[in-house]
Amino acid sequence: MPVTELSRLTLKKELKEEPKTVVIRALSRAKKLMEDFTGHDFHLYQEIENANHIYILGQWESVEQHMNEWIPSEANQGLLKDLVSFVEVDYLFHLDVSFGSIPPSEQAPIFSVGRHVMESEKRAAFESTFNKRRGGLEAHAPGTISGGWRIEKEHGREEFVLFVPWKDVDQHMAFKMTKEFEEYAEIRDHILLDATEIRHVALMEFPSPATQDDAA
């Protein structure tokens, strides 16, 4: 079953121009190698709230393909050596949603990544409320919303990750002032607020491999 990887990297420290260039090249190379390996597009996003956070989104044929074939591969191990001095992995897990259903960047300059964590027994109530109230969110978002359940579960917990396209952060904040948001916010009755987070991300642009080689 195709799955979507969601992972977040954090730059270990503020980078000066030369090491920053090294990181950008390594991330661009990682993107291309994963795309060549899977035959699917991968995208990297930078968090607006904290520019040191880098998100990876892409599709794998299965969790096993990612974890058992790609992770130990020579190509990936080489990438890790290039990046280990500069970044650390905050989290990495998979969602039961096709990457193609996540809002494309050309339709939304940014989108929010909402991690909704709940006790396992609250999942059915959350799903019911979300499906009942999602129309208000969809009416305000300038594109299709998408979400999926985390496959690697924490004991006694479920996590639903929601991707919502926005023109900018202000548009998202404006939604929170509407009547529709008051109704949509009923999902809070079912989630663990201290374990739930919402961040905004923007697509990272990389030079083509040919451009990088010319600059080297």
- Taking only the tens place, the pLDDT of each residue in 96-129 is 998 877 765 566 789 999 999 999 999 999 999 9
The one-letter code for the residue type at 47 is: E
**Is the domain of 54 the same as that of 112?**
no
DSSP state of 14: P
On whether the CB atoms of residues 152 and 95 are closer than 8 A, the answer is no
Residue 184's CATH number: 3.30.70.100
Structural domain harbouring 114: 106-202
Q: Are 39 and 67 in a shared domain?
A: yes
- Asked whether residue 124 is domain-assigned, the answer is yes
CA dist., res. 51 & res. 104, Å (int): 21
The single residue listed with the structure tokens 């195709």 is: 2
Q: Are residues 32 and 95 in the same domain?
A: yes
The residue among 100, 132, 148 that closes a domain is 100
Give the Cα separation of 130 and 83 in Å (integer): 39
Domain count, the chain: 2
Based on the domain organization, do 92 and 122 belong to the same domain? no
Same domain, 111 and 93: no
Question: Is residue 214 predicted with pLDDT exceeding 60?
Answer: no
Helix, strand, or coil here: 61? coil
3-state secondary structure of 106: coil
> pLDDT digit string (tens) for 28-45?
999 999 999 999 999 999
Residues 6+ positions from 154 with CB-CB distance below 8 Å: none
CA 151/CA 138 separation, integer angstroms? 25
Of 94, 138, 110, 95, which Cα lies nearest the Cα of 49?
A: 110
Question: Among 51, 93, 92, which residue's Cα sits nearest to residue 199?
Answer: 51
Q: Give the pLDDT confidence of 121-177 residue by residue, as tens digits.
A: 999 999 999 999 999 999 999 989 999 999 999 999 999 999 999 999 999 999 999
Nearest to 86, CA basis, from 21, 7, 6: 21
Query: Of 118, 104, 111, which is closest to residue 149 (Cα–Cα)?
Result: 118
Does 57 lie in the same domain as 15? yes
Q: Are 190 and 125 in contact (CB under 8 A)?
A: yes
